[in-house]
Structure 1
Amino acid sequence: MTEQSLATAVRDLMPRAKADLTDLVAFASVADPRQFPVEECHKAARWVADAFAAEGLTDVRLLDTPDGTQSVYAEFPGPAGAPTVLLYSHYDVQPPLDESGWHSPAFELTERDGRWYGRGAADCKGNVLMHLTALRALRQVDGGYPVGLKVIVEGSEEQGTGGLERYAEAHPELLAADVIVIGDTGNFAPGLPTVTASLRGIAEASISITTLAGNLHSGAFGGAAPDALQALVKVLASLHDENGDCAVAGLTTGQTWQGVQYSEEQFRADAKVLDGVALTGTGTVADRLWARPAVTVLGIDCPPVVGGASSVQSAATARVSLRVPPGTDVKAAQDALVAHLEAAVPLGAHAVVERLGSGSPFSADTSGPAYAAMAEAMRESFGTPMVVSGEGGSIPLCNTLRTLYPEAEIILIGVEDPTTQIHAVNESVDPRELEKMSLTEALFLRNYAAARTA
């Protein structure tokens, strides 16, 4: 069997991948019953389970995780003496946000200008199809799988409720593997094969400020009455210095990134920064995104502009997110954020600061044999060498898996690229990235099996 025949098999499978992704995107599988019926998640889970069962995987089942959602599990024993590879992804998605901002229905896969649009097309249902297409190609070309396989497809990753993490901790034997392939990231640029070796962690807090027993008329009392919203704005402004760098006291902010670099011109284009608007922070873009802490105000509870009364505000609340780089303890970072918020409250104002969720940063060891096999697979698939990048987001499961299986290599790949607009309106996937990454994964499984059994 040749690599070209495997590439041909993947290419021929792309119409099926599109049809399957169309079916999967149609499920509004937002793991929040306040927004969408839980049945949408149940139907998506059953679809995923049936799809992997159809590819010969056994012991396919739905796991009821402690947060009330379902994860799909499947396995394949593999040849005698072969290593075991765990393939991960998730079928739950972000809510569509402003549906009027979509150029086509959020839960209807739509082809436009060579891309496939729909919520979850990239994050992360596209990665489910990457796994499926790789396995289908191997079955067609090689007649089976060269390694033992385990598959876990999570149902609540976007909600951060930790259901799969707690299930894995309670059943540590279930996901044990020699290599864990996390299908939830993507390439640094379209056509540039990338492994993600660094993830920032996350620590969140809320701050509520109260200054008055109730709102007051701004004409009669404004100028002397302490305004809670104004006090909150001062606190939030203190989180950044004059350059826009994180100013949370006690955090190190001068770290540098040694991997692939991100030009300011490319970042401005990828992030769709408006003309004339300067980027925030100092250092390289890669330093700011992957190596240093970043603090963001996620929301403020205050009166809207339309309908707001002429009042001095008696209370205001904000939710703050701190991204924590590898090398920084997430608990210490959350402690520093809480202490900073408390210290910045204007004298006399009543403030309550609460810790919200947190997840540790992750850094992978890229020196093992699985990474060598992945590098070769990416070179064969894309025709260019693999690069190593970071990711500013968080995947808390990675640290759970590293704790449970310290000897396993963990590799993060996927079909996303900077133009996919995950977590935003008009999310899309480039089918060429899906094709190349499916081929990459099939080649990797073959390469890794050969390296381990040589």
Structure 2
Amino acid sequence: MDYTTYFQNHRESHLNELEELLSIPSISALSEHKSDVGKAAEWIADALRRAGMESVEIHPTEGHPIVYAEHLHAPGKPTVLVYGHYDVQPVDPLELWETPPFEPSIRDGKLYARGATDDKGQVFLHIKAVEAILKQEQKLPVNIKFCIEGEEEVTSPNLPGFLKANKEKLAADAVLISDTALLEPGKPAICIGLRGLCSLEVTVGTANTDLHSGTYGGGVSNSLHALVSLLASLHDEQGRVAVAGFYEGVHELTAAMREEFSKQQFNEDKLKADLGLDTLYGEEGYSFVERTGARPTLELNGVYGGFQGEGSKTVIPKEAHAKITCRLVGDQDPQDMLDKIERHLRNHLQPGAKLKIEQLEKARAFSCDSTNPMLQKAADAYEKVYGTRALFTLDGGSIPIVEQLSFVLSAPAVMMGFGLPDENLHAPNEHFNLENFDKGLLTIVEYLKSL
């Protein structure tokens, strides 16, 4: 079957459909968009029906709905569960968008809109790939299920329960996910590991009110001084996390793993130039891709307190705050990490200060074996379409539900991403390169047929 011609002939109608989906402001984090998230779920369900999928269901949850569909007419063949999400990030700051985030626009071979690459555009590829096979061949080479949620951008609070309650319904030989990226244009990658996550918020308090820095300065604790001192204690001068026991469960990089990283031929000088940096910074003894893919981190995401306005206000603030996120690897346990960090903070708190800690997100790291035939065939499919076999990589980000999907269903996660690292996901002017839209469709078809 000539799928290249098929997709060329349908390209305009496919892009028009995708623009319809991208026009829906399905921001899961904002309650005022709850109806829009529901509208996007309906759109996905209708698209699956039009594609020829069966048993299409919209499952309500305490938050946003989960869309399920199946096509199970290939007895004796593998079953593939396609996972993705139709919710998107907020759009702030709006003034930095060149065109409105929910008015899709094509410029220079790129489709601009919130959700274009994360993850509506990539989910859309799977729906249209399945539709193409059914229209051309009237049957699918494998059994297909879809599980598309509306809460990934708010850490999927309701999907784990849905997974456990519907384990048999969702049973599959592989979970196929497109929510990651190529290494660079023309250089495909299959992610075989994601870092875990834990986060906390810290509040340091001192007096029961803000104080005049002339009257009280030098005689009482300053919450900002106490917080800065506390945060500085979290790392040593070599860039390592100084929390006792933080590296327990972290596996050292083997020679084979380091060789796999080196195959990426990552250009650190280009990165510095692109980011306007004089030097990169991080844990000594590791390259940038090793630090961001295979090593744990502790990062400050926000530090604030005291007077923030224009001009000067000579005040000693009674309270200061910090938001902290850790990326975890190997066998690090998120709860154990949070407890160790809390213990460190309490042990290093300045006299006269009080500490309040709120533990938040928790997700374990995920990894799978690249020798699994389901992943090897995915690498082969990329090679047939892109002319370059995909490299197996470790991704520094976290998609917490991937570990749950793979664990509950006892199936490998095949992460075939078609985005690019510079497509501004979560930022203004998010976009999807249409070269990868075209090649993504062909790659997914090639992969499903190869199984």
**SS of 2:167's equivalent?**
coil
Q: CA 1:304–1:119 in 2, change beyond 3 Å: closer, same or farther?
A: farther
Q: How does 1:74-153 map to 2 (within 5 A)?
A: 74-153=69-148
Correspondence for 2:370 among 366, 373, 379? 366
CA distance in 2, matches of 1:15, 1:350: 61
Identity %: 32
Q: Which residue identity is paired with 1:201?
A: G
Q: Which residue identity is paired with 2:73?
A: G
Correspondence for 2:323 among 319, 326, 331? 319
Task: Tell me by how many angstroms 1:358 deviates.
Answer: 0.5
Q: Which moved more, 1:251-260 or 1:411-420?
A: 251-260
Contact 1:57 1:76 in 2 (8 A): yes
Correspondence for 2:24 among 9, 20, 27? 27
Count of residue pairs brought into register by the alignment: 440
Aligned to 2:205: 210
Structure 2 residues without counterparts, runs of 5 or longer: none
Task: Report Cα offsets for 1:360-413 as digits up to 9, x if no partner.
Answer: 10001221221122122111010111101111111121221222122x221112
Aligned to 2:9: 12
Task: Tell me by how many angstroms 1:176 deviates.
Answer: 0.8
Correspondence for 1:379 among 383, 388, 394? 383
Q: Does 1:190 align with 2:181?
A: no
Q: Which moved more, 1:253-262 or 1:149-158?
A: 253-262
Task: Tell me by how many angstroms 1:99 deviates.
Answer: 0.5
Aligned to 1:451: none
Aligned to 1:274: 276
- When normalised by structure 1's length, the TM-score is 0.92
Q: Which moved more, 1:246-255 or 1:145-154?
A: 246-255
Q: Which residue identity is paired with 1:288?
A: R
Task: Tell me by how many angstroms 1:243 deviates.
Answer: 4.0
Q: CA 1:396–1:102 in 2, change beyond 3 Å: closer, same or farther?
A: same
Aligned to 1:388: 392
Task: Tell me by how many angstroms 1:247 deviates.
Answer: 3.1
**SS of 1:39's equivalent?**
helix
Aligned to 1:411: 414
Q: Which moved more, 1:116-125 or 1:337-346?
A: 337-346
Contact 2:114 2:430 in 1 (8 A): yes
Task: Report Cα offsets for 1:262-299 as digits up to 9, x if no partner.
Answer: 33134336xx4114354344311111101111122222
Task: Report Cα offsets for 1:126-161 as digits up to 9, x if no partner.
Answer: 111111221132123323311111001110001114
- When normalised by structure 2's length, the TM-score is 0.92
Contact 2:185 2:420 in 1 (8 A): yes
Q: Does 1:443 align with 2:440?
A: no
**SS of 1:54's equivalent?**
helix
Q: Which residue identity is paired with 2:180?
A: T
Aligned to 2:41: 45
Q: How does 1:161-240 map to 2 (within 5 A)?
A: 161-240=156-235
Structure 1 residues without counterparts, runs of 5 or longer: 449-454
Contact 1:25 1:119 in 2 (8 A): yes
Task: Report Cα offsets for 1:197-243 as digits up to 9, x if no partner.
Answer: 01000011111111101100112212222111221122222223324
**SS of 1:334's equivalent?**
helix
**SS of 1:323's equivalent?**
strand
Q: Which residue identity is paired with 1:97?
A: D
Q: Which residue identity is paired with 1:140?
A: K
Q: Which residue identity is paired with 1:349?
A: A
